[in-house]
Amino acid sequence: MTVEEVVRQYKRGENLFEITIKKWESIKCSMSAVESTGDMAAIIESARTGGAFCLEYRENCLLCPIQMWCRNPTGAYQTAVRLMYMFATSGQQRYKEQARRHINQFLDEMRQYWQESQRRLN
């Protein structure tokens, strides 16, 4: 999913969690399909580019409900991105597989947090 797609969905008023999950599902699919490390630049760019929550909260990261994932250097998000870089530079498949596992963990955490947020609101 490109930055432009994220912005379009955000401007249409789509749910921030849905946009974020779609973006990371797209990254996960791209990681699965990648054949060479040369293809990783676009995937890493997508991962590093701010998402729907960044558009909503702009310079107010401390108010963002998912900032704990973005800022935690040992969390699933940061670890996945770091492993993507490691795969891109080394070509070692184990980094690719580890990155995919951390993306899955990040997606699971996002879905769980979204569900918990919805329960609290009801």
Residue 61's domain spans which residues? 3-121
Token look-up 């996960």 returns: 28
Q: Is the pTM of this model over 0.95?
A: no
**Residues 2-11: pLDDT tens digits?**
888 999 999 9
Q: Is the pLDDT of residue 26 over 90?
A: yes
Residue 5 DSSP SS3: helix
Q: What is the C-alpha to C-alpha distance for residues 27 and 96, in angstroms, rounded to an integer?
A: 12
Count of domains for the chain: 1
